[in-house]
């Protein structure tokens, strides 16, 4: 059970969606409790609520007043029973439950980790029977000279390689089939994974030249059907992939881009001016929020026929061709802290510090 930390778990219903995202990014619960002006519980807001709002057309500057759950599950402090709360959380997949007093002030909250063992927690993830393709054939020039010796996918973080950490997220859904597209120092990648114990299968797709981030997908078996998850080898994305696949299917998408909502502050006063250099406004340290491509996709197998043979072709090229052909390409937004890019040294150093804490 956690004591209440209002700074990271409480939000007013007048707050903007972008403010809610920042708060969710700053805590590990993936949820906020919505309170009125007297700090009484009136609802709950999850990252899923925000995702659905953004997909439906809401803006990051809109308020949360009409997107949060106004009927959250809660339990009074004098009625708290651990077994009952555990049963309700498992049945309804509640990840956080607030504990309130008779005046509806939140006093504490409980999470999955408080009540479920690791094995019980894993059982809550829906199993997926789809393959994952990890594009592991690049030269990794941004991380030279390290990659002059080792291929980027084998760079260690803690006691595991980048590739193992990527796979670790998919194993939560019991995904057991992986395709590695390999090229640069590809035999080192193969030798490493053939030398470790693992409970999943790896198949290797060897390029005879460098064909870009989508070109190597042409090497996949033609008999593959349905959706395929495709991932870069230098990023890690934490997501409920069962929900991603459900979204992809329900929207009838040909390709889904996992996109991360990022917040960036310009550390200067931004000047706006008109003709003649006349200053009209100075905005001090403005903040911008945007969705960026994480490098993880869900793509229907039939889309691979649009990839040319033995030509440089990137995922952005495939997306462009799909849209030109009237196919639906959609974005599935995730939180900022669910996406880690380790393709350059500054980011790698940050990940080494972060990985032992919460990823």
Q: Which residue has the higher pLDDT, 146 or 228?
A: 228
pLDDT band at 29 (very low <50, low <70, confident <90, very high): confident
Q: Which residue has the higher pLDDT, 347 or 116?
A: 116
- Both structure tokens of 219: 């090497």
Residue 158 has what pLDDT?
Answer: 76
- Both structure tokens of 96: 């956080």
Ramachandran angles phi, psi of 124, nearest 5°: -75, -20
Q: Which residue has the tokens 């309130």?
A: 100
pLDDT at 144 over 70: no
- Which residue intervals of 153-251 are DSSP H helices? 162-171, 186-194, 212-215, 241-250
- Residues 250-277, mean pLDDT to the nearest whole number: 91
Fold of the domain built from segment(s) 132-358: Spore Coat Polysaccharide Biosynthesis Protein SpsA; Chain A (3.90.550)
Task: Say what angle helices 17-26 and 47-55 make with each other, to 10 degrees.
Answer: 150
| Least reliable range by pLDDT among 93-97, 199-203, 314-318 | 93-97
pLDDT at 8 over 70: no
pTM: 0.81
Could you tell me what percent of the chain has a pLDDT over 90?
Answer: 50
How would DSSP label each residue in 293-331? EEEEEEEEGGGGGGSPTTS---HHHHHHHHHHTT--EEE
Q: Where are the domains of the chain?
A: 2-123, 132-358
pLDDT band at 114 (very low <50, low <70, confident <90, very high): confident
Residue 359 has what pLDDT?
Answer: 45
3-state secondary structure of 262: strand
Residue 329 has what pLDDT?
Answer: 97
pLDDT at 297 over 80: yes
Q: Does domain 2-123 have CATH number 3.10.580.10?
A: yes
Residue 337 has what pLDDT?
Answer: 80
Contact between 1 and 99 (Cβ < 8 Å): yes
> What tens digit of pLDDT does each residue of 39-55 get?
999 999 988 899 899 98
Residue 101 has what pLDDT?
Answer: 92
CA distance 301 to 216: 14
- Residues 131-135, mean pLDDT to the nearest whole number: 96
CA distance 71 to 234: 40
- Residues 154-172, mean pLDDT to the nearest whole number: 88
Could you tell me what percent of the chain has a pLDDT over 70?
Answer: 88
Contact between 182 and 190 (Cβ < 8 Å): yes
Which residues contact residue 8 at a Cβ distance below 8 angstroms, ignoring those fewer than 6 apart? Answer: 23, 26, 27
pLDDT at 191 over 90: yes
- Residues 261-285, mean pLDDT to the nearest whole number: 90
- The residues with which 108 forms a beta bridge, in sequence order, are 3, 99
């Amino acid at each position: 059970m956690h004591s209440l930390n209002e700074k990271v778990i409480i939000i007013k219903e007048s707050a903007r969606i972008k403010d809610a995202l920042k708060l969710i990014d700053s805590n590990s619960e993936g949820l906020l409790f919505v309170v009125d002006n007297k700090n009484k519980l009136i609802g709950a807001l999850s990252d899923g609520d925000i995702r659905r709002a953004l997909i439906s057309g809401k803006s990051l500057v809109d308020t949360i007043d009409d997107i949060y759950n106004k009927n959250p599950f809660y339990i009074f402090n004098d009625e708290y029973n651990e077994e009952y709360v555990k049963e309700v959380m498992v049945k309804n997949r509640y990840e956080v439950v607030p504990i309130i007093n008779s005046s509806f002030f939140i006093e504490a909250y409980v999470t999955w980790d408080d009540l479920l063992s690791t094995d019980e927690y894993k059982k809550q993830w829906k199993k997926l029977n789809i393959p994952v393709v990890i594009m592991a054939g690049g030269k990794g020039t941004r991380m030279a000279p390290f990659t002059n010796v080792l291929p980027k996918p084998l760079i260690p973080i803690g006691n595991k390689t980048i590739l193992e950490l990527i796979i670790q997220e998919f194993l939560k859904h019991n995904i057991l089939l992986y395709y590695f597209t390999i090229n640069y120092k590809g035999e080192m990648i193969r030798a490493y994974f053939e030398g470790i114990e693992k409970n999943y299968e790896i198949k290797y797709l060897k390029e005879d030249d460098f064909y870009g981030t989508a070109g190597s997908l042409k090497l996949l078996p033609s008999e593959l059907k349905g959706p395929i998850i495709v991932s870069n080898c230098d990023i890690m994305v934490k997501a409920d992939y069962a929900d991603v696949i459900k979204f992809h299917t329900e929207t009838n998408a040909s390709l889904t881009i996992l996109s991360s909502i990022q917040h960036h502050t310009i550390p200067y006063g931004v000047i706006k001016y008109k003709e003649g250099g006349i200053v009209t406004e100075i905005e001090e340290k403005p903040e911008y929020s945007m969705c960026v491509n994480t490098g993880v996709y869900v793509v229907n197998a039939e889309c691979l026929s649009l990839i040319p043979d033995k030509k440089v072709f990137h995922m952005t090229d495939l997306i462009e061709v799909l849209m030109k052909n009237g196919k639906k390409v959609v974005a599935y937004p995730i939180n900022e802290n669910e996406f880690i890019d380790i393709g350059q040294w500054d980011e790698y150093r940050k990940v080494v510090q972060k990985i032992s804490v919460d990823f």
